[in-house]
C-alpha cells in the first residue's frame, strides 16, 4: 500500500519547460469543450500543486486556465446537500458561512497547508493531485462526499476512492464536491501527528435516530483508509479499539509500522469521539 512513486523525485528547472498554448475559457461549457479538443489538456486553478508537478517532470500540452470561472467557486447549501465549488480555495471554504452546516468543517479547512497555500490552493486541485499527503480526499471520504465531473460525453459522479483509481471520464473537468447533510453531521480533523498520520472523524445520526460514524486515516505515503464505527455505548476507548481491528495488516509505510498506527490511531480516535460528544452537549 506504500505509494513508492511519490518518493525520491528530483526537481528540474523551469527553464527546461517547453512552451505550450494557454486557453482561458469564460464558462464551464467552454472549459469542457477545450478539455475535449485541446492537445494533452491540463487544467490550472490555484497552481500550488501543478507548479511543483511540472518541476517533477509533468508535461503540459495545453494549459486550460480556469481562473475566470467564478461559477466554480463558493460553498452553498441546497436540498439537504453542502456543495463546494472545485475552484473554492481552502481559505474561502473556511470563511464561508455555509460551511457551518457541518460543524468542524471550517476548522478543518483552515488547517490545510500554510496561509499562502490556503489562499491559492483549491478543493478540486487538492483532490485531483492524488497526493497521499494532501487532505481533501481524507475529509471527503469521512463525510461521504461525491465529486462531480463534466465532459463532452456528459456528467459523472465519483467517490474519493474512485478518483484514486483514476476512474473519472477522459478529458473531464471536476466542477464541484457535494456532501449529503445527514442528521447532526459533525467533523473532527486531527493533524497532531502529521506528517506521520492524520485522521478525520465524521459522526451523524441516521433516519432511525441511531448514531453512525466513520474514521479515515492516512499517512504521507498511504492512501486514506475508512473505518466504519459501531457507536453503541459511550466507551470511546472501546469503540476506537474495536474500529482499529479492521485496519489491514499491510497498512504501514517506511515512517511507521502497522502496530504503531493502530495504537496511535485508536488513541486519537478516542479523543475525537470524546470531543464530538462534548460538542453535542
pLDDT in tens, 202-237: 999 988 889 999 999 999 999 999 999 988 777 899
Whether 1 has a pLDDT exceeding 50, the answer reads no
CATH number at residue 198: 3.30.390
For residue 5, being part of any structural domain is answered with no
Tell me the pairing of strands 81-85 and 41-44: unpaired
Give the integer Cα–Cα distance in Å for 62 and 137.
26
Whether 125 has a pLDDT exceeding 80, the answer reads yes
**How many independent structural domains does the chain possess?**
3
Tell me the pairing of strands 62-65 and 22-23: parallel
Domain boundary among 180, 215, 231: 180
Which grid cell sits at 83? 456543495
Instruction: Decide if 279 contacts 186 (C-beta within 8 A).
Output: yes
3-state helix/strand/coil string of 145-160: CEEEEEECCEEEEECH
pTM of the model: 0.90
How large a percentage of the chain has pLDDT more than 90? 70
CATH number at residue 176: 3.30.465.10
Residue 222 is given by DSSP the state B
| 163 and 200 assigned to the same domain | no
For residue 176, being part of any structural domain is answered with yes
For residue 121, being part of any structural domain is answered with yes
pLDDT, tens digit, for every residue of 10-44? Answer: 555 666 677 889 999 999 999 999 999 999 998 98
Give the integer Cα–Cα distance in Å for 190 and 139.
11
| 57 and 149 assigned to the same domain | no
| 197 and 275 assigned to the same domain | yes
| 127 and 201 assigned to the same domain | no
| Residues 6+ away with beta carbon under 8 Å from 42 | 50, 58, 60, 61, 62, 63, 64
For residue 4, being part of any structural domain is answered with no
For residue 232, the model assigns a pLDDT of 77
Q: pLDDT band at 53, cuts 50/70/90? A: confident
3-class DSSP state for residue 173? strand
For residue 2, the model assigns a pLDDT of 42
For residue 10, the model assigns a pLDDT of 52
| 270 and 187 assigned to the same domain | yes
| 117 and 191 assigned to the same domain | no
| 255 and 210 assigned to the same domain | yes
For residue 1, being part of any structural domain is answered with no
| 89 and 168 assigned to the same domain | yes
Whether 8 has a pLDDT exceeding 60, the answer reads no
Q: Which domain holds residue 105?
A: 73-180
For residue 7, the model assigns a pLDDT of 47
| 81 and 172 assigned to the same domain | yes
| 90 and 119 assigned to the same domain | yes
* 51: alpha, beta or left? (left if phi > 0; alpha if psi -120 to 50): alpha
| 142 and 199 assigned to the same domain | no
Q: 16-20, 38-42, 109-113, 275-279: which has the minimum mean pLDDT? A: 16-20
Domain boundary among 111, 145, 180: 180
For residue 4, the model assigns a pLDDT of 47
Whether 58 has a pLDDT exceeding 90, the answer reads no
* 235: alpha, beta or left? (left if phi > 0; alpha if psi -120 to 50): beta
As a whole number, mean pLDDT of residues 44-70 equals 82
Domain boundary among 180, 198, 220: 180
| 137 and 89 assigned to the same domain | yes
For residue 269, being part of any structural domain is answered with yes
Instruction: Decide if 102 contacts 187 (C-beta within 8 A).
Output: yes
Cis bond upstream, residue 179 (ω within 30): no
Nearest residue to 265 via CA among 187, 196, 181, 184 = 196
For residue 2, being part of any structural domain is answered with no
For residue 6, being part of any structural domain is answered with no
Residue 17 is given by DSSP the state P
Nearest residue to 216 via CA among 167, 154, 265 = 265
Amino acid at each position: 500500500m506504500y505509494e513508492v512513486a511519490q518518493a525520491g523525485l528530483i526537481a528540474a528547472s523551469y527553464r527546461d519547460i517547453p512552451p505550450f498554448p494557454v486557453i482561458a475559457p469564460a464558462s464551464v461549457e467552454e472549459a469542457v469543450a477545450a478539455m475535449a479538443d485541446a492537445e494533452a489538456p491540463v487544467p490550472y486553478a490555484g497552481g500550488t500543486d501543478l507548479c511543483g508537478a511540472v518541476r517533477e517532470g509533468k508535461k503540459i500540452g495545453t494549459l486550460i486556465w480556469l481562473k475566470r470561472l467564478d461559477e466554480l467557486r463558493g460553498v452553498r447549501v441546497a436540498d439537504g446537500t453542502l456543495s463546494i465549488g472545485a475552484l473554492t480555495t481552502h481559505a474561502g471554504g473556511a470563511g464561508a458561512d455555509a460551511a457551518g452546516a457541518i460543524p468542524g468543517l471550517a476548522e478543518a479547512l483552515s488547517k490545510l497547508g500554510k496561509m499562502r497555500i490556503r489562499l491559492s490552493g483549491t478543493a478540486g486541485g487538492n483532490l485531483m493531485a492524488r497526493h497521499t499527503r494532501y487532505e481533501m480526499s481524507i475529509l471527503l471520504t469521512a463525510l461521504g462526499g461525491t465529486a462531480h465531473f463534466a465532459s463532452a460525453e456528459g456528467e459523472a459522479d465519483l467517490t474519493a476512492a474512485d478518483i484514486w483509481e483514476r476512474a473519472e471520464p477522459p478529458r473531464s473537468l471536476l466542477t464541484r464536491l457535494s456532501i449529503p447533510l445527514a442528521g447532526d453531521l459533525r467533523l473532527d480533523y486531527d493533524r497532531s501527528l502529521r506528517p506521520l498520520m492524520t485522521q478525520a472523524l465524521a459522526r451523524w445520526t441516521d433516519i432511525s435516530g441511531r448514531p453512525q460514524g466513520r474514521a479515515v486515516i492516512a499517512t504521507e505515503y498511504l492512501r486514506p483508509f475508512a473505518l466504519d464505527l459501531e457507536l453503541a455505548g459511550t466507551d470511546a476507548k472501546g469503540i476506537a479499539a474495536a474500529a482499529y481491528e479492521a485496519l489491514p495488516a499491510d497498512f504501514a509505510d517506511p515512517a511507521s509500522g502497522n502496530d504503531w498506527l493502530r495504537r496511535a490511531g485508536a488513541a486519537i480516535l478516542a479523543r475525537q469521539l470524546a470531543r464530538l460528544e462534548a460538542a453535542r452537549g
